[in-house]
Structure 1
Amino acid sequence: MIYASEHTAGTGTLDTVTVIGTGLIGTSIGLALTRRGVRVHLRDVHAESVRIAEAMGAGTALAPARQTDLAVIAVPPHGVTAALADAQRQRIAVHFTDVASVKASLSAPGTGAGAGAGWDTSRFVGGHPIAGREHPGPGAARADLFHGKPWILTPTADTSPATTGAAREMVGMCGADAVTMDAEAHDRAIAMTSHLPHLVASLTARMLHSYDQRALGLSGSGLRDLTRIAAGDPDLWTDIIGSNAAALLEALESLQGDLEITRRALGVLAGTMQDGSGREAAYRELLRRLLAEGRSGQSLIPQKYGAQGRVYEKLRVPLTDREGELARLLADVSECGVNVEDLWIEESADSPTGLAVLLIDGKVTEELARWLENRGRSVLRQTPAGAGTV
């Protein structure tokens, strides 16, 4: 159950933070906070990771002279409990949060200590920024990684308001929107929106080992889009998926049911199912319905987080094979005074360099289309399926 979602502005009371774990997320937090004037202290079992994060400007490797206001446990899910217990024993901070993508295992309301693990739940609030990149490590970190993204907080009945407040202030300083959510509901939601897609992408990419490499040279954008996230760190994702096994298994079993229905339909159409004679039309219609429901489901995904009630439209603009063509297109858009919510490139048979797809607020789509057409550009309009409302 989601209780609240709001943009969180800092109150100016968060002056010092300890980041434990200087991977992609921890280092990105350090970069964001140092830009807001927070003194960030970096810790990691890998000295080289700390060195890189420090060199990037994410904080200092020097130990703080006294307790910091907040400690962020930015280690993989299986290591959070031990790192949290150790950090509290050392009293390195007043308040504590984490960034792991699995939350229910950390919730132990009413116990006064983390399931007997030796940490005080009153000074801890679970956290999970919904942001990331395919490539791990401090070298991939960005100060703007969390801008405009949701950041889940999962306080329990034990969590003190001061601890939740400190975490909220940190979230706001990172440019994210704090969303309060029940831990188990979080794990079920993330199983569907993150963990299942990663698993499907990885299993699909794994199949490519058995295909003729010359055939893979024919790959289009569909295969690249589907398998992009499979480039993630397999050790980290083994930990993430294994830590959320129950919720992910439920989602996977639901998918397995649809795969079995699809397998049967294809078997009939291929003539390999013995009881399919004369039923080809019915199974073709079943396949069409599955694809239509998939299209409808895809339209439910918000085109842009945090803009509820707004309708977006896509403008596709063919790009000519000239150096700097994309930059010129963006300059034309900027001159019109229209904000581009998102941008990506699609392949096109009509353009050697593809189509630039601009995601635009529906209220100004026609204005921008006419502006670009008056400058000699071809514009293809398309409203996302399902009205595009987010």
Structure 2
Amino acid sequence: MNAARLNGQVRIVGTGLLGTSIGLALREQGVDVVLANRSPAALRLAVDYGAGREASSEDSPALVIVAVSPDSTAEIVAAELIAHPEALVTDVASVKAGILADLIARGADVARYLGSHPMAGREKGGAISARADIFLGRPWVIAPHAGSTVEQERMLEDLALDLGSVPIRLEPDAHDRGVALVSHVPQVVASLLAARLLDGQDAVAALAGQGLRDTTRIAASDPELWIQILAANAGPVAHILEEFRHDLDGVIEALERPDAPGAPTRVAAMLTRGNQGVARIPGKHGGDARYATLVVQVADEPGELARLLTEIGEEGVNLEDFRLEHSPNAQIGFAEIAVLPEVARDLADALIGRGWALAESRR
């Protein structure tokens, strides 16, 4: 068990996906985590899961983390500031500027409030979907404001580091504009694309490959939660969608008249800019050229994928990214393994030596 950087007791209000995941990760490091939730059943599930113990009147938290729905966040933060006058209170909602403005309007003691936002999540919510490793390698935004202090920022930085996240400082307005682009608009676009499947025949949907699955995965997210998120960040989201609409109109015009002068060039320019945009995405799921990719054939049999991952680990290689291509009823799938370039050749040789067939190797 690694020692936590964070000192003192942590109170988590809200035991859904993020609240329970934070609790699980902190408990692994020996932090005293107390949990609260308006729903006794949801609280009991998180406690049974091992995310912390039920809160009591004897608790004295140094940090309170509010992990509730966006439309309830300001109300709960204000109540926690009153209930725990010695604690720093943060929240993990996906919008920041509106919550801060709401707290100021309520007359809350924002000198002890500092918003934050882990850029992590899953399509399915609730404590049952929680994972202690959900934050590993993911950005954790700390949103300083005029009333916050450097010491408070350091406390949240310790929290982020304890959870394996990468702390990033962004002012609330800058945060909201940023997540509109990288999170909120993608949700809208994915949902609109997935909705087109309702107009197709079942046989057409059965043709879906990994490209469609990748671009619509988040369309399975909770509509009730996303109604709140989009309403709270409506301005920045609408602005980006207007620009998206302009780009889309240009592509439609070019496709409606594909033989018109300049039409192929406009489509090519759109695709090229897409390549350039993907290349700017850092980390494990972007187009970062630091990684090499091996494509391994995996038989569609129980245990084969687990065996592949185990054997990669036995070779002492860290997986930087992974995705599986598998068409319905196919006898094999293709596991795309991203690794550091300096280990790619040796790993390829080792896998071949273990009997795996490589379909492709890219650097």
What amino acid maps onto 1:345 in structure 2?
Answer: L
In structure 1, stretches of 5+ residues that fail to align are: 1-8, 270-278, 385-390
Q: Which has the larger radius of gyration?
A: 1
Aligned to 2:303: 324
Match for residue 23 of structure 2 among 19, 30, 45: 30
Higher relative contact order (CA 8 A, sep 6+): 1
Any idea what the Cα deviations from partners look like across 1:212-233, whole Å, max 9, x if unmatched?
2232122222222111101111
Residues 38 and 64 of structure 1, relative CA distance in 2, 3 Å threshold: farther
Q: State the shift of 1:189 in Å.
A: 1.1
The 3-state SS of whatever aligns with 1:115 is: helix
2:151 pairs with 1:162 = yes
Aligned to 2:139: 150
In structure 2, stretches of 5+ residues that fail to align are: none
2:260 pairs with 1:280 = yes
The 3-state SS of whatever aligns with 1:29 is: helix
User: Residues 36-185 of structure 1: matches in 2 within 5 Å?
Assistant: 36-91=29-84, 94-107=87-100, 114-185=103-174
Name the CA distance, whole Å, in 1 between partners of 2:308 and 2:77. Answer: 49
CA contact (8 A) 1:69 1:93 kept: yes
Aligned to 2:240: 251
Any idea what the Cα deviations from partners look like across 1:201-258, whole Å, max 9, x if unmatched?
1111122222222321222222221111011110101111111111111111111011
The 3-state SS of whatever aligns with 1:370 is: helix
RMSD of aligned residue pairs (Cα, Å) = 2.5
Name the CA distance, whole Å, in 2 between partners of 1:128 and 1:260. Answer: 34
Q: Which runs of 4+ in 1 moved over 6 A?
A: none
Aligned to 1:3: none
User: Residues 372-387 of structure 1: matches in 2 within 5 Å?
Assistant: 372-383=351-362
CA contact (8 A) 2:81 2:112 kept: no
Sequence identity percentage:
36
Aligned to 2:193: 204
2:9 pairs with 1:16 = yes
What amino acid maps onto 2:62 in structure 1?
Answer: D
Tell me how many residue pairs correspond in the alignment: 361
2:269 pairs with 1:304 = no
CA contact (8 A) 2:326 2:332 kept: yes
Residues 347 and 97 of structure 1, relative CA distance in 2, 3 Å threshold: same
Name the CA distance, whole Å, in 2 between partners of 1:162 and 1:10. Answer: 20
- The two structures have a TM-score, normalised by structure 2, of 0.91
Name the CA distance, whole Å, in 2 between partners of 1:213 and 1:125. Answer: 49
Name the CA distance, whole Å, in 1 between partners of 2:201 and 2:295. Answer: 33
- The two structures have a TM-score, normalised by structure 1, of 0.85
Name the CA distance, whole Å, in 1 between partners of 2:210 and 2:137. Answer: 27
Q: State the shift of 1:288 in Å.
A: 2.3
